[in-house]
Amino acid sequence: MTSVAARDRRLADRAVRRVAFTAEELGDRVRALGTEISAAYRPEDRLLVIGLLKGSFIFLADLVREITIPLQVDFLVAASYGAGTTSSGDVRLLYDPSTSLAGRAVLIVEDIIDSGTTLKKLLPRLQARAPASLEVCALLHKRLGTDHLEPRWVGFNAPNEFLVGYGLDHAEDFRHLPYIASLE
Ligand code: 5GP
Ligand code: MG
């Protein structure tokens, strides 16, 4: 537990309990992920990086700048319905990538995996569009799902706390924080 005020004056907001990942820790890990991803694909794979909005926007922006092979970027907005009952929890696409996935090496960039329900519903729908490959890079993984979803790349294992910052929100607040913190 790091003293809030010692890390960053913006943490004067009393809602923020402690810094879970500093900006420096995030930067180091994102650089390493960029190196790994760059080595995993060839230029001719025509890598298509798809960020799940809104939470992934900062992570994606930092990550693609650490990837040294040619790539394109698109976004996807998914909304879950019937949350609470995993069986009825359906995922609706509010914004669907305009880019065709067929034959492309597709890398989905997600902010945080909690139960894994969102990705479990989403991935088969994207797989049906016949990408050459379909992988996931998640910044954070809480590993709470019963049947395990293991992305190819994970930034950090996350504590079972409600995290904000670096794109993650609470009721749309805190997305701009350059670090990740847990709320009271
Ligand atoms: P899952 O479908 O894996 O249960 O939930 C994933 C989604 O829940 C994430 O994309 C994110 O929108 C939200 N989520 C899960 N845990 C957290 C958290 O600690 N903080 C925030 N801000 N969102 C979370
Ligand atoms: Mg999300």
**Spans of all domains in the chain:** 24-79+95-172
Q: Class for domain 24-79+95-172, per CATH?
A: alpha beta
| pLDDT > 70 in the chain, percent | 86
What pLDDT, on a 0 to 100 scale, did the predictor assign at position 82?
A: 52
Handedness of CA 64, 69, 74, 77 (dihedral sign): negative
**Are the C-beta atoms of 18 and 1 separated by less than 8 Å?**
yes
- Centroid of ligand 2 to alpha carbon of 51 (angstroms): 10
Q: Round to whole Å and give the CA distance between 5 and 96.
A: 41
pLDDT band at 86 (very low <50, low <70, confident <90, very high): very low
Which residue of 122, 168, 175, 184 sits with most ligand 1 atoms within 8 Å of its CB, as the best mutation to test the pocket?
Answer: 168
* 114 touches ligand 1 (CB under 6 Å): yes
Instruction: Report the pLDDT averaged over residues 128-149.
Output: 89
Provide the phi-psi class of 82: left if phi over 0, else alpha when psi is between -120 and 50, else beta: left
pTM: 0.89
Write down the pLDDT at residue 146.
66
Which long-range contacts does 99-103 make (Cβ < 8 Å, 24+ apart)? 99/48, 99/72, 99/74, 100/129, 101/48, 101/126, 101/129, 101/130, 101/131, 102/129, 102/130, 102/131, 103/46, 103/130, 103/131, 103/132
Render pLDDT for 49-79 as a digit per residue (tens, 0 to 9). Answer: 999 999 999 999 999 999 999 999 999 998 8
Is the Cβ atom of 8 under 6 angstroms away from ligand 1?
Answer: no
Give catalytic status of residue 114 as yes or no: yes
Average pLDDT on 132-155 reads 90
Instruction: Provide the token pair at 140.
Output: 């954070």
Neighbouring C-beta atoms of residue 46, cutoff 10 Å: 16
Alpha carbons 89 and 115: distance in angstroms, whole number: 12
**Res. 15: pLDDT tops 70:** no
Average pLDDT over residues 16-20: 86
